[in-house]
Structure 1
Amino acid sequence: MKYRYTLEELGQISRRILISYWTLLFIATHIPLWFVHMDVPKDSDKLAHFLGYGGLMFCLRGWQWVAAQQSDIQEQIENQNGNRKRYTLWFAVLVLMVYSVLDELLQIPVYRHADLHDAIADWVGLVIGAIAFYLSRPWIVRLFLVSPLETEAASE
């Protein structure tokens, strides 16, 4: 199994991880508690919300970062220096904050309850997930991304 990838391969992998994670998070937050036969303590789900949305932000920022790197390379190839749309941290925060509110409201029809404290835990998780990606990005790049020098050496 390969463990170092080109930017294009890393883009595909990060997109698949994001879609899979987001789908699993949606399913997990919409399964009625009576269906899984779980009695959960009153505020125990706050940690799950925090970790779930932190992971979602981490995955989204990873995909955005790879997409931005690919865009930068394409721009250099085409010698364009004009205005281009960049996916930013603020876009990710806005999208996921709106999604977290909708997620809480969509739990009502499946016999769960919407809770402001859950939404706050989601939002704190978003911030921590963004910080975690920012801090771990150099290691992720070093571990998984093939450097341009390695690519040139492999082609010779």
Structure 2
Amino acid sequence: MSVVERLNDEIKTAMKEKNQRRLDVVRMLKAKILDVNARGEVGEAESVKLFRSYAKTLAETIDLAKKAGKNEIAATTEAELAIVKEFLPPELTAEQITAVVQDVIAELGKDKSKFGLLMKTVMAKLSGQADGAAVKDILNKLLA
């Protein structure tokens, strides 16, 4: 089942259940895919990238709302983020990321001047299963 088909099924389910928040979030995810490709022909990897970007935006919104004392907005956004996370593969643990980073360092060499190449290679191997900031932190620790 393609991503768009799954989103369409989720839209139907949310409409039947009269779950407006879920319906709005799933429609937003579908709109993000259609914005990239009008025919909705976006692969799994591309959709994960789009959804992760949206999840990151929602997380930033939650932080800002909490800092501003807007707890109602933060709670609403947290509920939206939980729905978006249902469409994302589970993120790898720090230990799993470290293992991949160590493999890439063994393959390409432990040279801090190759940081960009190492980062790019690790991110390609992880294919959207880890946050770039977490990978960067682990890579910095191992290169130090």
Larger Rg: 1
Which of the pair is proportionally richer in helix? 2
